[in-house]
Structure 1
């Protein structure tokens, strides 16, 4: 076991790099547009293509690589991640940058679930939850440290340097995994058809649609946050990095508060309050983005409300079908990235047709999508004889848990 001790933090570093790579583009988008001589709307495809590739690849690669040895899977994913970032840093034009982002996204989609599963398998049974939390904590840390740092680097040096740094971290992790991770095989996971089967449950479909809607609403604005907050930052990348830090720290707090509130008051009330709060933030962005202080307050509330949705939504999915919990969370992850992709795409359409003036529409349109998410959440809760009643693996109703109590394993 002594050989395994440093492995879990190592896997978390890889998750940190991937989390930073996933979200940092929003902060460097104006610089990417200027360097490649394209509009901000066109540069938004960099985020959209990454998210869409991740959403499609995650369940497919999970099914195709389930029988492979984990060290091999992790090493391959990190090598692909490294090459994707090298290609991103070297890309001379937008089409080649988009191809590079596809390679990076596919590699990231392979790494995260494999790293979480490996951490759990390598830890003693009584420490498996904490081991998985350490790995996933790398993703959370990316929003607090990685994204603001990457944005600051892009502002003071160049956006390509951010991708070079991520490539260096990926390469170091690949070598460390190949040398330090013991050979590990896990029981074969279910095939792709089995992974997608739970969607036939109406409440599952509505829950996943809810995630896609509020993520689309949020990322309609967040994808273009650099341009959106330009009146408050005067185009200063360092100030933008500070605002992203103001977003990231409350985002982590929002995850914790959302989990505790879910345990106390139940998943649906917390989800409704969080999504409603997110809608208010987005609807008022045309006002708050004009000056630094209101923009900072908006980013802080945005971070809390956006991330408070996650524990509540994951809890709801576990409660719907405890026996299929991991599969449902995989689908929810795909819905998250579908939402990120759609947000970038819809924002692109708005900016392409409306120009700079359309920046004021991004928040309100996103708020409208969050209102639709509230409707689908309520509809899902009312589906069936008992709202949010757990469904067993065979589709039979399970014994309902007391109000506010967790059903099945905790997703946090």
Structure 2
């Protein structure tokens, strides 16, 4: 378990690094004398490289020992964050964020696979949960803490903290992780083949648009709060979103196990995301009321991928891990697209206070695709839920 906790520490640093820059956006923009729309692209390049690095480098590095590959990924991640901390210009910051995204994209799936290999068969799900939990905790808890620290030690200090966490994880992996070979990942051709599955592709497309809606607004949440409600310190509101995320992630599993209605749960989630984002501008002047839609949005956004994974495993039981991996890439590509489009909207004259209307429209598109394409593919294939289909869920999270 100690070795798995080390892997989880690296995942925690990844989760913190992936989202903390969204909370630091106004501070970074002021420090570098750049617009919020331009500076927001640091989130775009991180998530885009994260999404693309996972399938590409997993294929290139196939067959290498897990310890070597994990160490290489953490070296890239740690050095890149150090470069981000000393960046004096936006181009240098964007390059360093791209490198950090590549390191994170290589580390994350391999850390989960290694945790599974280190765990006894009967405790494999728990090992996976520890590593995946590290990333979610890093995002949900680490982000508001990082923003709070930035107000005391600057945004560069927060990035130095991420750098230190990556360095500790690297030392631990080198010193304590045993030499175990990583299982060969699916070939890139196989990943693409699964994506063309008539049931997998619509689900991944819904995840893509869901990612646009979620991070497209979260990246500029601080700017939205400042413009619409005059809130200079977004920490408390980031906590509200994060607490909602924890509740959603914890509660959706039991609900899914009890009801076995993944499609209906995704429908409800997309309705909630659309509604929560659409009402944000109206309730923003009443600061206390902002907490409710942020809680709902956070809970819905974090809950969505669990039933999506269930649907993918059912759609492609022979290659469930491939389908879920491709869906993960779709989520991060959506996140990158969302933060990029948020910058385009701002540069085009949309006020930060109006961004929720833009992102809610993408959540609505995801809902329409879910109710049409996904529903149609389910009818063509026939919807059969069996115990055999459900059992790979834990491992498929890799």
TM-score, normalising length: structure 1: 0.92
* 1:277 and 2:291 are equivalent in the alignment: no
CA distance in 2, matches of 1:230, 1:90: 26
Q: Distance in 1 between matches of 2:193 and 2:354?
A: 37
Contact conserved, 1:71 with 1:181, CA < 8 A, in 2? Answer: yes
* Compared CA separation, residues 364 and 385, structure 1 to 2 (3 A): closer
8 Å CA contact retained: 2:12, 2:135? yes
Any residues of structure 2 matched to 1:289-308 within 5 Å, and which?
Answer: 289-308=284-303
Measured in 1, the distance between the counterparts of 2:335 and 2:282 equals: 24
Q: Offset at 1:142?
A: 1.4
Asked if the contact 1:81–1:107 (Cα under 8 Å) also holds between the matched residues in 2, the reply is yes
For 1:77-130, what per-residue CA distance to the aligned partner results, in whole angstroms no more than 9, with x for missing partners?
111111010000011100000000011000000001111001100111111110
Greater shift in the superposed pair: 265-274 or 290-299? 290-299
Residue in structure 1 matching 2:344, options 349, 353, 357? 349
Q: Which residue of structure 2 lines up, in the alignment, with residue 286 of structure 1?
A: 281
> How much has 1:231 moved relative to structure 2?
5.1
- Contact 1:322–1:408 (CA under 8 A) maintained in structure 2: no
Report the CA distance between 1:55 and its aligned residue.
Answer: 1.1
Query: In the alignment, does 2:94 pair up with 1:114?
Result: no
Deviation at 1:382, TM superposition (A): 3.1
The question of whether the paired residues in 1 share the 8 Å contact of 2:228 and 2:353 is answered with: no
Taking the aligned partners of 1:80 and 1:33, their CA distance within structure 2 comes to 25
The SS at the match of 2:57 is helix
CA 187–142 in structure 1, closer or farther in 2 if over 3 Å, else same = closer
SS in 2 for 1:186: coil
Name the counterpart of 2:244: 250
* Partner of residue 135, structure 1: 131
1:77-116 correspondence to structure 2 within 5 Å: 77-116=73-112
Query: Is residue 367 of structure 2 the alignment partner of residue 374 of structure 1?
Result: yes
Of residues 313, 320, 333, the one that matches 1:325 is 320
Q: Does 1:194 align with 2:194?
A: no
Q: Distance in 1 between matches of 2:321 and 2:381?
A: 18
Check the 8 A contact 2:77/2:103 in 1, yes or no: yes
1:401 corresponding residue in structure 2:
385
2:148 is aligned with 1:152: yes
CA contact (8 A) 1:254 1:308 kept: yes
Instruction: Pick the aligned partner of 2:47 from 30, 48, 51.
Output: 51
Structure 1 position 47, deviation (Å):
0.5
Tell me whether 322-331 or 377-386 shows the greater mean CA deviation.
377-386
- Consecutive unaligned residues in structure 2, runs of 5 or more: none
TM-score, normalisation: structure 2: 0.95
* Shift, 1:405, TM fit: 9.4
Q: CA deviation at 1:387?
A: 6.0
- Alpha-carbon separation, structure 1, partners of 2:219 and 2:389: 34
Q: Deviations over 1:303-350 (max 9, x none)?
A: 111112111111111110111111111111111111111111111111
Tell me which residue corresponds to 1:396.
none
